[in-house]
C-alpha cells in the first residue's frame, strides 16, 4: 500500500494515484461552470470541500450528512469516470479538488472558464499537520524524525512536491485564470466574511440564515464529530486514527510547539530565499 508514483518529477502515493489517473487529470476537460479547489495537502482541503458543498446545497443538508467530502468534491487526479458521470445528474455545478501543481493542471484549465479556489496555509502549520498525517495514513511512509521531515519539506522532495513551487505556481496564474485566493488563516479568523466573499466570487450570494447554516456545519467541532467527514469510516489500513486524529488541532500557529529556534531559523532562511522576491503578499507571520 505504501508505494510511490513519480509523475513529472513529483512524488505521489501510489495507492491513490496511478500514472493513468495523473495523466488523465492533466488533460481533463473542464466545463465553464466547473469549480476546482486546489490546495497543497494539509492546507484545509477538507474544510473547504465542506464549505463549497454547503454553499451549493441550498439548505438541503442530505448530502452533507450522508456523503463524504471526497464524494461531493472529488479529487480530479483520483476520479473514476463513473462517479463523474453520476455527478452530472445533480443540480450543483461540478465541484472538484486537486493537489496537482499549476504546471500540470493549468493547460487543461485554461481551455475553459472554470473557476479556481486556491487555498493556502502557513507552511509551518502545513508541515506539522503533514508530519502527523504521515503517521496515520497507511499510504504514506512514517517519517524517521521531525528534523528529517523539515529537511525534506524545505528541499521539496516529499510527497506532492515543493510547497513553495505549488503556491508560487498557482498564484502566478491569477491573471490567466478566474482564481480566488483564500487562506486557512482568513477562514479561521473571519469565517463569515471569508465565506461571504467566496460565495460572491462563485456567483452564489448567501442570505444571513444560509451563512449561519454554513458556519455551523463547517466548524471544527461539527466536522470533527461527523463520521461522514472525519474519515473514521475509512479502513484502518488507509487512515488509522487510533494514535492521532485527522481533525487534530484545527488552529493557527501550532508550529510553535514543534520548531526549535534552530529549525525556525533554517526554515525562515529558505522561506526568504524562495518567497522573498515572489512579490506575493501572504498573510502569515513567520516568527
End-to-end CA distance of the chain: 38
- Residue 254, judged by CB atoms within 10 A of its CB (0-12, 13-18, 19+), counts as middle
Query: Nearer to ligand A3P by C-beta: 215 or 280?
Result: 215
Q: Cell numbers 444560509 label which residue?
A: 210
Interface with ligand A3P (CB under 6 A), residue from 112, 178, 194, 254: 254
Cβ(153)–Cβ(176) under 8 Å? no
- Residue 45 as a binder of ligand A3P (CB under 6 A): the answer is yes
Number of residues that bind ligand A3P (CB under 6 A): 20
- Residue 42 as a binder of ligand A3P (CB under 6 A): the answer is yes
Query: Which one from 17, 60, 65, 99 is the annotated catalytic residue?
Result: 99
- Residue 193 as a binder of ligand A3P (CB under 6 A): the answer is no
What is 55-94 written as a DSSP string?
HHSTT--HHHHHS-HHHHS-BTTT--HHHHHHHTTSSSPP
- Residue 164 as a binder of ligand A3P (CB under 6 A): the answer is no
Cα torsion for 145, 38, 94, 173, to the nearest 10°?
-160
Give least dist CB 68 to ligand A3P, A.
12
Interface with ligand A3P (CB under 6 A), residue from 5, 14, 41, 70: 41
Stretch that binds ligand A3P, among 5-13, 52-60, 167-175, 217-225 (CB under 6 A): 217-225
Query: Nearer to ligand A3P by C-beta: 41 or 141?
Result: 41
Which has the closest alpha carbon to 113: 27, 175, 52, 30? 30
Catalytically active residues are: 99
Amino acid at each position: 500500500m505504501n508505494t510511490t508514483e513519480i509523475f513529472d518529477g513529483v512524488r505521489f502515493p501510489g495507492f491513490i494515484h496511478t500514472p493513468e489517473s495523473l495523466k488523465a487529470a492533466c488533460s481533463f476537460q473542464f466545463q465553464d461552470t466547473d469549480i476546482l479547489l486546489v490546495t497543497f495537502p494539509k492546507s484545509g482541503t477538507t474544510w473547504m470541500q465542506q464549505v463549497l458543498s454547503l454553499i451549493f446545497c441550498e439548505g438541503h443538508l442530505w448530502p452533507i450528512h450522508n456523503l463524504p467530502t471526497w464524494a461531493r468534491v472529488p479529487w480530479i487526479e483520483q476520479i473514476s469516470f463513473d462517479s463523474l458521470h453520476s455527478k452530472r445528474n445533480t443540480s450543483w455545478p461540478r465541484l472538484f479538488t486537486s493537489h496537482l501543481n499549476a504546471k500540470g493542471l493549468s493547460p487543461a484549465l485554461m481551455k475553459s472558464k472554470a473557476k479556481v479556489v486556491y487555498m493556502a496555509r502557513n507552511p509551518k502549520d502545513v508541515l506539522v499537520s503533514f508530519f502527523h498525517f504521515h503517521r496515520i495514513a497507511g499510504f504514506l511512509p512514517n517519517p524517521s524524525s521531525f528534523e528529517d521531515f523539515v529537511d525534506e519539506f524545505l528541499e521539496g522532495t516529499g510527497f506532492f512536491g515543493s510547497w513553495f513551487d505549488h503556491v508560487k505556481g498557482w498564484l502566478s496564474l491569477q491573471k490567466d485564470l478566474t482564481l480566488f485566493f483564500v487562506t486557512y488563516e482568513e477562514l479561521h479568523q473571519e469565517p463569515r466574511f471569508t465565506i461571504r466573499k467566496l460565495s460572491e466570487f462563485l456567483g452564489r450570494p448567501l442570505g444571513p440564515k444560509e451563512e449561519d447554516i454554513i458556519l455551523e456545519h463547517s466548524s471544527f467541532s461539527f466536522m470533527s464529530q461527523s463520521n461522514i467527514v472525519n474519515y473514521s469510516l475509512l479502513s484502518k489500513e488507509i487512515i488509522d486514527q487510533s494514535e492521532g486524529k485527522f481533525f487534530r488541532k484545527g488552529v493557527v500557529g501550532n508550529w510553535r510547539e514543534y520548531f526549535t529556534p534552530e529549525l525556525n531559523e533554517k526554515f525562515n532562511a529558505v522561506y526568504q530565499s524562495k518567497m522573498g522576491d515572489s512579490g506575493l503578499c501572504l498573510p502569515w507571520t513567520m516568527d
